[in-house]
Amino acid sequence: MEQHSHLHFLQDTSEILAALTGSRDLDGFLTRLVKLVARHLDADVCSIYLLEAESQQLVLRATTGLNAEAIGKVRMQVGEGLVGTALKELRPICESCASHHPAFRYFPGTDEERYEAFLAVPILRGIEKVGVLVVQREQSRAFVPEDVAALRVVTAQLAGTVEQARALMLAENGAQELPAAPREPLPPFLRGEPGAPGCAAGQALRYDRRFSLAQDVMPDLPVDGSADGRQLIEKAIERTEAQLRRMQEELGQRLPEAAALIFEAHLMMLHDRGFVDGMFTRVAAGASAAGAVAEVARSYMQRFQRSTHDYLREKAQDVEDLALRLITNLAAAESVDTLPLAGRIVIARDVLPSDMLKLALENVAGVVLTSGGVTSHVAILARSLGVPMIIAHNPRLAEINDDTDLMVDADSGNLYINPSNEVTERYRQREKVRAAAESAAEVKPETLTADGRQIHLLANINLLSELDLALRMQCEGVGLYRSEFPFLIRTTLPDSAEQQAIYLRLLERMAGRPVTIRTLDAGGDKMLSFFDEAGEENPELGLRSVRFTLRHPDIMEQQLKAILEAGAQSSAHLGIMFPMVSSLDEFRRARAMCMQIADRLEAVNDIPWPPPVGMMIELPAVLETLEAFAAEADFFSIGTNDFVQYMLAVDRTNAQVASYYCPHHPAVLRALARAIGIINKAGKPVTVCGEMAHDMRYVPFFIGAGLSRLSVDPHWLPELQSGIARWSTAQCRQYTAALLKQDTIEATAALLRSEN
């Protein structure tokens, strides 16, 4: 068949619609359709197999070219024969000699013996399996790629048309509706990516299907009938305030960065007379207590949502959260102590850092995110909070109902659905072994290669709560303290005194060790709720990191003042680092601001002053002027996550292009080796602090390139130390040289696999 005929067929769908409207029943429509497809593809045979709802078998429903008596009689399981295999594997199967294929199965009575050229394409509606469309010819006229492409387009249109045919024919002639093929039962597990390590079991709870005032989905709870509405509201306010203050106290102990921040807006609203009196007025007019709370909350939400300011629109979420807690607390006191999230595996499309803090405080067992990436800020926060998390871009997650038993294996990325007793017990035993191994782990104070070369291992710290683990794992210092969480989890800018208290605790815990504090890295996927900037079409390439703080020098100055004042009171070896620097001009402006503040302060301890000032290497732009940077910056840290992203123009959180995010791309490896070489030649310290720093496929590469400092999340330190001990310096250099010779991603990947 000529290609232009294919194009005509694909562009003109009117014939398919005509076949639909000219048919009196579904079978008549399918018969017209197979003849239409056979004519346009010049096929001797065209058949449609539909997946039957009750039996979950593929049934021949229409054909032209085969024996018509086989219609309704030929049945096969999904995965059986070439037709069943096409549906099971969700891919076209094209064969010039079908009977030679190992999956071929002959069905007597079809009269298909002489039609060896075979093409089957699955019919799918989203992720729902509908059936298979098959065309056949004599062996001398095999199908070509253009035929496959044409049939794929037809099947894409056909799935919806079959459903439309069922609906129309039901409406027109009152025929009994054919049952729609149900989705296959959920598989025993779904695979995702590990986001935060650990293993957890519990019942599912969809976080995006919580109670909603906007949609009038309210909790159904028993209410004390002996009290009037005003009394109920007053008691609910007391209970709610007690809960919030208790959670605030716990939050302050676990996360000093968030003390007195996250529930600040809720507590203020509870004491706002307009908010509370509005409820009293409504119950006095006859409204129920729950109705009064909901009505007042909705009025506030609507006002905020009408605002042109993003910050005020987001306040509507605070109002809804508080109102739903109040409504829950209208119930008897004994029913409110068990929070609905405790022990659950939460499934959510996305969560904000403040949401993750709330989930951790309410003791969720684990989290399954359906968007984002393993390097996202929320995933980093989950690791810091010890909440097992996986990221699974899988549409079947939408089919998991609340209260389904789940098990999250966030080490491998597996989500088990209704796990068997054997699976549950296996994971319980594994966790016991892991706990015993961790308690018995011997982490040496020095990390040495097989030939005795020292590699310095430092810790990436997101929250002060991670310092205990970092010290227990014998980290030599903090190579990266991400300072943005106090900014991200609150609704107002933290002042210099609040920030200073956090930095001082960090430095005091690390007394005598190096600590590098990275200045505010906001923007991109880390938006500040209190900063009302106009929306950016591409925030990853927008006003973020040092660009943001240089645009708003008051924020930069307050943070630098807090860091320097904390440093002047501590014996830790402080270093200050600027993120996402793209030019020497930016670095000079930021460093000058730091030096001006340092000059105004007096260091009261016998410590180096002013502290060293360095920069992150995250943008490929700095490579061509790196010698100039090396002459001025005191130290460097390579953030491989962003470096790879910007080097390859790949959004690392976008599942559609995830396969293009290749740290082993030859250009990436050569650029990293070049950067390390230039910095070493200048005699300046350089550290790698991204995800590549704990991956033993790349660690020998870095050592062979001349690197001697790695900074990783604390839980990676024991594994990293033992992995480094297996390599000698000579082996690392040979490995690095071999990798740098490769010109293709495939060749580099093959070498990575063979060496590790």
Residue 611 DSSP one-character state = P
What backbone phi and psi angles, to 5 degrees, belong to 30?
-65, -35
Name the nearest CA neighbour of 89 among 103, 75, 106, 99: 103
Query: Measuring CA to CA, which residue among 552, 551, 625, 631 is closest to residue 582?
Result: 625
In 396-539 the beta strands, taken as DSSP E runs, fall at 405-409, 414-417, 456-461, 478-482, 514-518
Bridge-based pairing state of the strands 366-369 and 389-391: parallel
Catalytic residues: 377, 689
Strand partners, 367: 346, 389
CA distance 213 to 703: 56
> CA 160 to CA 124: how far, in whole Å?
9
DSSP string covering 264-330? HHHHHHHT-HHHHHHHHHHHHTT--HHHHHHHHHHHHHHHHHT-S-HHHHHHHHHHHHHHHHHHHTT
77 strand-pairing partners: 57
| 21 C-beta neighbours (distance < 10 Å), count | 10
Exposed/middle/buried for residue 599 (C-beta within 10 Å: 0-12, 13-18, 19+)? exposed
Query: Contact 606/625 with Cβ under 8 angstroms?
Result: no
Cα 269 to the center of its chain, rounded Å: 33
Residue 357's region, left for phi above 0, alpha for psi from -120 to 50, else beta, is alpha
